[in-house]
Structure 1
Amino acid sequence: MRLEFYCREGCHLCEAMWHELGDYRSRDDLEFSCIDISRDESLETRYGEMIPVLAHGERVICNYFLDPELLDVFLANPD
């Protein structure tokens, strides 16, 4: 499963969430796409006030801070 991590370079919240995702990033069944929203105007408009954002497709799993409980619930039932 691929999850999108929307972030902005130099964002301390983004760096913290990425670090907290370490255990999840080491899993073989998950892939992460790091997407810098500052390179895409539409993503900046959509997520600019919410970053960091962890999402799967159009579904936002959590933002600002990692919520392991929400992420685990999502991973157990991604549909």
Structure 2
Amino acid sequence: MRRFTLYSRSYCHLCEDMLAALQALAEPGQPFEVDVIDVDADPALVERFDELVPVLYGRLDEPELCHYFLDEAAVRAYIDRHSAQTA
């Protein structure tokens, strides 16, 4: 199953908006999971991401897909690219 990681924080409307926009991209037969990580729970994550949140990753060993706002084109390209690799 496809998995995304969203670096987020509580009381962040941009974070909530990005999560909702990402979840809206789910299609029948192509589910994905989203791990939401609270950056404020780890000083190293605050140092790394602080003012960039929300930050969305597909695979953590690849560059971020987007931050602040969902880049639908980047997310769809990621999904298509990784669907082709597993087909």
TM over 0.5: yes
Q: Does the aligned pair in 2 maintain the 1:8–1:37 contact within 8 Å?
A: yes
Per-residue deviation, 1:26:
6.2
Q: Where does residue 54 of structure 2 map in the other structure?
A: 52
Q: Where is the helix percentage greater, Structure 1 or Structure 2?
A: 2
- SS of the residue aligned with 2:24? helix
How many residues were matched structurally?
79
Aligned CA RMSD, in angstroms, stands at: 1.8
Q: Structure 1's 13 and 35: CA in aligned 2 closer, same or farther, altered over 3 A? A: same
Q: State TM-score, norm by structure 2.
A: 0.79
Deviation of 1:30 after TM superposition, in Å, equals 1.2
DSSP 3-state at the match of 1:77:
helix
* Structure 1 segments unaligned to the other structure (5+ residues): none
Q: Residues 68, 34 of structure 1: CA spacing in aligned structure 2 closer, same or farther, 3 A cutoff?
A: same
User: Which structure has the bigger radius of gyration?
Assistant: 2
Q: When the two structures are superposed, what TM-score results if normalisation uses the length of structure 1?
A: 0.86
Q: CA deviation at 1:11?
A: 0.7
